[in-house]
Amino acid sequence: MKNPHLLIIGYVWPEPQSSAAGTRMMELIALFQQNNWQVTFASPAQRSEHMADLQSLEVNTAEIELNNQSFDDYISALDPQAVMFDRFMMEEQFGWRVEQQCPNALRILDTEDLHSLRDARHRAHKQARAVEASDYSSDIALREIAAILRCDLSLIISTVEMDLLQTQYNVPAQLLHHLPFMLDPQHLSKPRLTFDQRCDFVSIGNFRHAPNWDAVLYLKETIWPLIRKQLPQAQLHLYGAYPPPKATALNNPKQGFLVKGWCKDAHEVIGKARVCLAPLRFGAGIKGKLADSMLNGTPSVTTSIGSESMHQDLPWAGAVSDDPNTFSYMASHLYTNEAAWQVAVNNGNAIIYQQYNKTLLGNKLMACINQLQDQLPQHRLSNFTGAMLRHHHHKSTKYMAQWIEEKNKD
């Protein structure tokens, strides 16, 4: 029997040096390839300058179109055994076509993080209030939860999100699989710079991501001035893809606030810094910048949102505080106290070993997928709500797509 084929329908082309989402996608591609799956990555998005060289990794690529019957012919010829939707928007656009052309293909949704949770927290933050019950019933929540219910399996990156989906939305547990970052613990044994060999603070994150941009402004206006009062000579290096002019305008060498923009190797710049700062005030999922900090022996100071679902009951690899004065004090303390710094480094090592072992996590996911493939008809019969949603959604989406396609011919 030939190797099974996975088609990934990407919202964007993966950029592992620009975002945690890009890194996670590359982890998934590698996992399926290691388990003898052939992988094709297709996307309606424009190719980007920072995208991964997928063809060099023996991943086939294809450019596909929204609202175009050409996709039907494409996937019918490809005949994949599984299709992974990269974020719920791709399931909305292509789910009905996949089901129509390849009804026996396993349909997997990689949520990246819960967009509806991030949106709810963002709206609450802008209004300076706590998240309310009504925030969980937004339009984006209705769309995202419906997509999860329509799929055979959804990959959920956070334990908080796993709990929210089951308690707030009553999503059946058999439709969900907890999959955090899949990291290689052997990275921890690589040579590292010592406390004395490191200098400066670092902050990193894609500037297009709203939680990251808010964190940059929070650093500039509140956190960094407090740290500079304690450490007048300290510097903060801010890295991230796609910095807009409003971000580069914040660069101020006199204040030690240095906006560097995109970096080719996040591990290198994080590994040279003494402390990572991530004062995130809203968001969802888990944070790639904080996982990278632990991998490279760099303590981090973050918020409760930043550390959420990342360390379970283990002590954090640095400090966690939502109060700016405490945040700045702990950042300065870790920067100047080698003993506290080393404890944080050791805590990070333990978290990586116990929470993010790629071999254990990968084996668990592939076992789940193999079981689903063997029991797919029964699995789908037990998900009546999903079948009902597919029936109504696919009808409406199908006719809307056909109308748009005809309109585009004019």
Tens digits of per-residue pLDDT, 277-333?
A: 999 999 999 999 999 999 999 999 999 999 999 999 999 999 999 999 999 999 999
Nearest to 278 by CA among 343, 346, 230, 206: 206
Predicted confidence band at 88 (pLDDT cuts at 50, 70, 90)?
very high
Which pLDDT score is estimated for 400? 65
Give the pair of three-digit tokens for residue 140.
């984006």
Strand partners, 236: 201, 257
Strands (E), 120-206: 153-156, 176-178, 201-204
Mean pLDDT, range 349-368, rounded to an integer? 97
Which pLDDT score is estimated for 138? 95
Phi/psi for 236 (5° steps) reads -120, 120
168/196 same-domain check: no
Which pLDDT score is estimated for 401? 65
162/14 same-domain check: yes
Q: Read off the pLDDT of residues 218-274 as tens digits, 9 standing for 90 and up.
A: 999 999 999 999 999 999 999 998 999 999 999 999 999 999 998 989 999 999 999
Q: Which of 160-164, 383-387, 404-408 has the highest mean pLDDT?
A: 160-164
Q: Read off the pLDDT of residues 138-187 as tens digits, 9 standing for 90 and up.
A: 999 999 999 999 999 999 999 999 999 999 999 999 999 999 999 999 99
Give the pair of three-digit tokens for residue 175.
């439709």
1 pLDDT above the threshold of 60: no
Q: Where is the domain boundary, 355, 375, 391?
A: 355
Q: Where is the domain boundary, 328, 355, 382?
A: 355
221/307 same-domain check: yes
Which pLDDT score is estimated for 399? 63
Mean pLDDT, range 179-203, rounded to an integer? 96
CA distances (Å), 265 to each of 87, 99, 185, 196, 388, in order?
25, 39, 19, 22, 46
Side-chain-facing half-sphere of 173: CA atoms under 13 Å = 3
Is residue 5 a contact partner of residue 31, using CB atoms and an 8 Å limit?
no
16/96 same-domain check: yes
Q: What residues contact 375, with CB distance under 8 A and at least 6 apart?
A: none
Q: Read off the pLDDT of residues 123-139 as tens digits, 9 standing for 90 and up.
A: 999 999 999 999 999 99
Side-chain-facing half-sphere of 74: CA atoms under 13 Å = 19
68/48 same-domain check: yes
Q: Coil, strand, or helix at residue 341?
A: helix
128/247 same-domain check: no
- CA dihedral defined by 138, 142, 145, 146, rounded to 10 degrees? -170
48 pLDDT above the threshold of 90: no
CATH code where residue 44 lies: 3.40.50.2000
165/57 same-domain check: yes
| Number of CB atoms found within 10 A of residue 1's CB | 3
Q: How far apart are CA 386 and CA 403, in angstroms?
A: 25
168/202 same-domain check: no
Longest CA pairwise span in the chain (Å)? 70
Number of domains the chain contains: 2
Q: Coil, strand, or helix at residue 300?
A: strand
Instruction: Tell me the torsion sign for CA atoms 189, 195, 199, 202.
Output: positive
Mean pLDDT, range 191-210, rounded to an integer? 95
Strand partners, 9: 42, 85
Give the pair of three-digit tokens for residue 353.
């070993």
108/150 same-domain check: yes
124/230 same-domain check: no
Predicted confidence band at 200 (pLDDT cuts at 50, 70, 90)?
very high
Q: Coil, strand, or helix at residue 237?
A: strand
Is residue 84 a contact partner of residue 39, using CB atoms and an 8 Å limit?
no
55/162 same-domain check: yes
Predicted confidence band at 410 (pLDDT cuts at 50, 70, 90)?
low
Phi/psi for 84 (5° steps) reads -110, 125
Nearest to 365 by CA among 170, 82, 129, 164: 82
Which residues constitute the domain of residue 334? 186-355
Q: Where is the domain boundary, 355, 372, 393?
A: 355
Is residue 199 a contact partner of residue 274, using CB atoms and an 8 Å limit?
yes
Q: How far apart are CA 406 and CA 394, in angstroms?
A: 18
Nearest to 6 by CA among 74, 79, 111: 79
Which pLDDT score is estimated for 397? 65
346/241 same-domain check: yes
Is residue 25 a contact partner of residue 57, using CB atoms and an 8 Å limit?
no
Average pLDDT taken over every residue of the chain: 94
Predicted confidence band at 49 (pLDDT cuts at 50, 70, 90)?
confident
Which pLDDT score is estimated for 283? 96
Q: Is 230 left (phi over 0), alpha (psi -120 to 50) or beta?
A: alpha
